[in-house]
Structure 1
Amino acid sequence: MPREQVLAAATTRFARDGYDKTTLRAIADDARVDAAMVVYLFGSKEKLFRESLQLILDPDMLVAALAGAEDDGPDIGERMVRTYLGLWEAPQTAASIRAMVASATSHPEANDAFRGFVQDYVLAAVSDILGGGEQARLRAMLAASSLVGTAMLRYVIGVAPLSELPTDDVVRLVAPTVTRYLTADAAELGLPL
């Protein structure tokens, strides 16, 4: 139970104050536990930040979008883009994602934690569903570059016209590229064999 309390408090605190201004003591106070408990459970602020990211950017949601359900559309890119943008637009996750990504671009420890999260959780999960191996990992990274770039310009920096387009239009425009990265023949993409 204390682990969940600490994670919830950390997610809220990181979203509100950013990585640099958040302290383990403040998180402990918010969670109503001793600061030593936070260190015992997570080891460091960087590791706690990484775990907090998983609550917001749940890799299982992206894997589910890749796998698709019976009532999903057939286009893998459309499912991925719609799911990913949904995380950025959902009231319960939007502010947290923006704050955590901003922290990751401005603070070295947060950057390390974010990179580790993407490599160890997101890319690993996505590449596994694509069949595993280096090619699958590279495909996942290429798709992620489109998704992250779109999110940075649309939600973090707010560059028009991308930031002003309806979500359905963004999905329609970005999905073909994501689909291509995930499904095109390796030779067509120029992937190393």
Structure 2
Amino acid sequence: MPRPATTARRRGRRQGEPVSREAVLAAARKRFGEQGYEKTTLRAIARDAHVDPSMVLYLFGSKADLFREALNVIVDPGALAAAVAGAGDDDPDIGARMVRAYLRIWQSPESGPTMVAMLQSATSNSDAHEAFRGFMQNYVLAAVSGELGGGEQARLRALLAAGQLVGTAILRFVMKIAPLATLPDDDVVRLLAPTVTRYLTADAEELGLPEL
């Protein structure tokens, strides 16, 4: 008598919808934005995304790694790189393009409040700090410096410009210190753009860049 046909056992999830990486990132972004890094748990993120907590670890490795990836959803390094490159009818000044692109991130109702919470977390929690630093080094600086020709001097230029922008964001959007917090965008662009342009485009000797 012939043996019944057998079906090969499938590995992985056997029931329910496939786990969506995007769903976990969306839940993480919301939790980190509302509660900060320390109060957010992987279990809460998993519950919001309707997955098992072990799947969150499987997809992202750790809470710090998930925090870094959530930052990448909020701040698109490609958009900042595009601001450096410029196109079509963009403002001809590279500094003005960068400042405006950065202000849009902080003023967006979708990304602004989350950026405030995440930056506060990065300045008060060591794990969040390391995740934020990794995001800046491996995503933002890599993308922007690539548009500047690559190399260590290009990374330093990008980092100097980032120092101006991040410092402004802390004073304007996080600490909300007047008059910087209340200046119109056009004034902020006018004041910051020359410095950002100088960092990104000035001759290396004139700027005083060290040999790296």
Relative to total residues, which structure has the larger helix share, 1 or 2? 1
Q: CA RMSD in A?
A: 0.7
Q: How far 1:45 moved relative to its partner? A: 0.2
Q: How many residues align?
A: 193
Residue in structure 2 matched with residue 153 of structure 1 by the alignment: 171
Give the unaligned 5+ runs of structure 2: 1-18
* Pairs within 5 Å for 1:30-41: 30-41=48-59
Partner of 1:110: 128
Q: What TM-score, normalized to structure 1? A: 0.99
The match for 1:61 among 63, 76, 79 is 79
Structure of greater Rg: 2
Output aligned runs, 1:1-193, within 5 Å: 2-193=20-211
SS in 1 for 2:181: coil
Q: Cα distance, 1:109 vs. partner? A: 0.2
Cα distance in 2, alignment partners of residues 45 and 25 from structure 1: 10
* Cα distance in 2, alignment partners of residues 77 and 35 from structure 1: 43
Runs of 5+ consecutive residues of structure 1 not aligned to the other structure = none
Q: How does the TM-score come out when normalised to structure 2?
A: 0.90
Question: CA deviation digits over 1:104-152, x for unaligned, max 9?
Answer: 0000000000000000000011111100111101000000000001101
Query: What is the alpha-carbon distance in structure 1 between the residues aligned to residue 24 and residue 153 of structure 2?
Result: 37
Runs of 4+ residues over 6 Å off in structure 1: none
- One-letter code aligned to 1:51: E
